[in-house]
């Protein structure tokens, strides 16, 4: 049997690992380890499973097993950080997660001396969004600019690989198409990916223009495209800025495309990721029914795959929405439920930035531990410095901790990373509150207006609009905002607001509460 994945062919009969026409040197024990993981790729195999199969049950140290796994990853171009092909599931085991095609040997058991490169065979798609970043074209006519084009593609690829919900093809596979005219649909088949990012760079006079397109490999249609211009004075600074912008916009773009794809699926064909996407599509509706449906879909995803951390994070977000909208019925029970979800999500994947950031948000809101919340959010940002939602969460929690200067900086960075974010209303509301606490009342009112215009069902937007408008003497506007927020939550009061959210410095929030009193919000 030959197993084909990425640029590799794994031949169990000849006990050889090929990359293209080259044989990769690999120790027998490491070969057996890869063989076992690939054959059992539909499940998580435990440490005991591996020891029984590879070492015949002999006592083996964790260090020895880790060493063999690292060697196996290295042989197939993977790393312990990326875990693109071999994934470690803490306290559970290991799984080969790369898309694999099984190929029988030719009749008679004779294998050609030059095996067929797996890139010529259509690979099955993985069970999460998959993307290949092709080498960008240097349109400058200057060979010396080749390094800049390659560096740009590599940086974007690295930025995307930090999003653990994405399956990102390694550079050594996607760059094999460099300098060739290829159909992206062919690339999709050969690399087993749903999306391809291609681009070009042109330098003229003192400026550089970068063009990028995201293409659906099933149809060949463009999902997204953009041009970026900048001065060529500092190429590396320009490279960093473009990389940040492209990575930031690709995350929501790909998720929207995946949500649309999942909507067309029949319910009986849904997997864990599909249920997660259905929940994702409901996140901005802010109605009781949408929040309940969002939670139900997440719980279905968790049932199908208890190791899928983003589903825990999104389920926790459903509880956050209930909390902010005033829909909590049994506060102690729901707080315990959401904190349990967070702990289970962290056990499932301690490196998922969405899970880490959401854990921080929940520890701040539901355990009233702002310091712990900020620590987890900062960890999310260290794992993925391009994670727009973690910057939003940082701004929200840091505002409550009284650090409005850093909060505003992080919220503006979230806007820069994801300028078309569907969660714009949350960013705008958080900016309004941070500016109001910082004493910039006019700017606070402006951001509050943007928040309620972006999502009129989002109650916190009306709260900060009522307070900021009253604080600058716009009494009629403040009273109208107060009436709207009381329509969304008839039980809303300043006392409930104080109890609902933790704050580090009460005196800093007193003018905010006074603005609500002037607007007519009950004490």
Is it the case that residue 119 has pLDDT exceeding 50? Answer: no
Is it the case that residue 68 has pLDDT exceeding 80? Answer: yes
d(CA 251, CA 214): 11
pLDDT of residue 412: 93
Is it the case that residue 449 has pLDDT exceeding 80? Answer: yes
Element (H, E) at 3: strand 2-5
**Range with the largest mean pLDDT of 102-116, 228-242, 297-311:** 297-311
Q: What is the pTM of this model?
A: 0.66
d(CA 9, CA 102): 10
> Where are the domains positioned within the chain?
2-118, 130-263, 386-523
pLDDT of residue 110: 34
pLDDT band, residue 158 (cuts 50/70/90):
confident
Q: Residue 45's closest CA among 65, 16, 74, 63?
A: 65
Helix (H/G/I), strand (E/B), else coil: 371? helix
Element (H, E) at 208: strand 207-216
pLDDT band, residue 269 (cuts 50/70/90):
low
pLDDT of residue 107: 37
Beta strands in 218-339 (DSSP E): 222-231
pLDDT of residue 236: 66
Query: 217 to each of 122, 137, 148, how far by Cα in Å?
Result: 12, 19, 26
* Residue 24 backbone dihedrals phi, psi, to 5 degrees: -90, 125
The predicted-structure confidence for 451-486, as pLDDT tens digits, reads as follows 999 999 999 999 999 999 999 999 999 999 999 999
Cβ atoms within 10 Å of 218's Cβ, excluding its own: 13
More confident residue, 173 or 135: 135
Is it the case that residue 388 has pLDDT exceeding 90? Answer: no
pLDDT of residue 108: 35
Range 348-365 average pLDDT: 94
pLDDT of residue 233: 67
We find that the CATH architecture of domain 2-118 is Orthogonal Bundle (1.10)
Pairing of strands 16-19, 8-11: antiparallel
Is it the case that residue 116 has pLDDT exceeding 60? Answer: no
The predicted-structure confidence for 484-505, as pLDDT tens digits, reads as follows 999 999 999 999 999 989 999 8
The predicted-structure confidence for 5-38, as pLDDT tens digits, reads as follows 877 888 888 888 988 667 888 888 889 899 999 9
Contact predicate 97/168, CB 8 Å: no
Lowest mean pLDDT among 30-34, 150-154, 265-269, 342-346: 265-269
pLDDT of residue 264: 66
Q: Over the chain, what is the mean pLDDT? A: 85
Q: Residue 433's closest CA among 475, 410, 467?
A: 467
pLDDT of residue 123: 67
**Range with the largest mean pLDDT of 80-94, 164-178, 301-315:** 301-315
More confident residue, 512 or 175: 512
Q: Residue 352's closest CA among 283, 276, 246, 403?
A: 276
pLDDT of residue 186: 86
Pairing of strands 8-11, 130-133: unpaired
Class of the domain covering 130-263: alpha beta
Lowest mean pLDDT among 142-156, 271-285, 321-335: 142-156
Range 260-286 average pLDDT: 78
pLDDT band, residue 106 (cuts 50/70/90):
very low
Is it the case that residue 252 has pLDDT exceeding 50? Answer: yes
We find that the CATH architecture of domain 386-523 is Alpha Horseshoe (1.25)
Query: 322 to each of 315, 465, 495, how far by Cα in Å?
Result: 11, 20, 18
d(CA 163, CA 179): 28
């Amino acid at each position: 049997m030959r197993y084909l994945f990425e640029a590799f062919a794994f031949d169990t009969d000849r006990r050889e690992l090929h990359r293209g026409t080259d044989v990769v040197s690999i120790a027998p024990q490491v070969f057996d380890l890869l063989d076992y993981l690939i054959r059992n790729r539909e499940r998580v195999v435990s440490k005991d499973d591996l020891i029984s199969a590879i070492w015949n049950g002999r006592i083996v140290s964790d260090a020895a097993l880790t060493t063999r796994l690292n060697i196996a990853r290295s042989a197939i171009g993977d790393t312990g950080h990326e875990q693109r092909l071999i994934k470690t599931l803490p306290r559970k085991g290991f799984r080969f997660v790369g898309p694999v095609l099984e190929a029988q040997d030719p009749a008679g058991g004779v294998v050609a001396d030059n095996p067929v490169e797996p890139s010529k065979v259509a690979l099955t798609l993985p069970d999460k969004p998959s993307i290949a970043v092709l080498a960008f074209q240097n349109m400058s006519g200057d060979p010396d600019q080749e390094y800049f084009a390659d560096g740009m593609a590599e940086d974007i690829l690295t930025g995307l690989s930090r999003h653990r919900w994405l399956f990102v093809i390694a550079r050594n596979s996607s760059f094999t198409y460099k300098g060739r005219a290829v159909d992206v649909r062919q690339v999709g088949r050969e690399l087993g990916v749903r999306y391809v990012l291609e681009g070009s760079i042109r330098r003229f006079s003192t400026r550089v223009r970068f063009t990028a397109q995201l293409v659906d490999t099933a149809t060949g249609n463009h999902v997204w495209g953009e041009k970026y211009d900048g001065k060529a004075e500092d190429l590396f600074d320009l490279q960093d800025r473009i990389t940040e912008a492209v990575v930031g916009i690709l995350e929501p773009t790909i998720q929207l495309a995946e949500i649309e794809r999942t909507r067309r699926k029949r319910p009986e064909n849904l997997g864990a990721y599909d249920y997660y996407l259905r929940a994702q599509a409901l996140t901005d509706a802010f109605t009781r029914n949408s929040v309940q449906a969002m939670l139900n879909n997440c719980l279905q995803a968790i049932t199908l795959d208890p190791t899928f951390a983003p589903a825990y994070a999104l389920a926790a977000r459903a509880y956050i929405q209930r909390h902010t909208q005033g829909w909590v019925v049994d506060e102690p029970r729901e707080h315990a439920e959401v904190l349990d979800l967070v702990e289970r999500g962290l056990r499932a994947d301690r490196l998922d930035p969405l899970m880490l950031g959401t854990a921080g948000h929940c520890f701040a809101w539901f355990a009233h531990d702002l310091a712990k919340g900020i620590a987890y959010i900062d960890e999310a940002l260290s794992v993925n410095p391009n994670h727009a939602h973690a910057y939003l969460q940082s701004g929200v929690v840091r505002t409550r901790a009284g650090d409005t200067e850093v909060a505003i900086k992080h919220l503006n960075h979230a806007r820069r990373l994801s300028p078309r974010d569907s969660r714009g209303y949350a960013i705008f509301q958080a900016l309004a509150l941070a500016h109001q606490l910082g004493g910039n009342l006019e700017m606070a009112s402006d951001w509050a207006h943007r928040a309620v215009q972006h999502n009129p069902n989002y109650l916190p937007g009306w709260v900060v609009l009522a307070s900021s408008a009253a604080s600058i003497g716009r009494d009629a506007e403040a009273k109208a905002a107060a009436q709207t927020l009381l329509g969304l939550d008839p039980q809303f009061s300043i006392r409930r607001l104080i109890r609902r959210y933790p704050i580090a410095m009460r005196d800093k929030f007193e003018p905010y509460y006074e603005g609500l009193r002037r607007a007519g919000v009950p004490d």
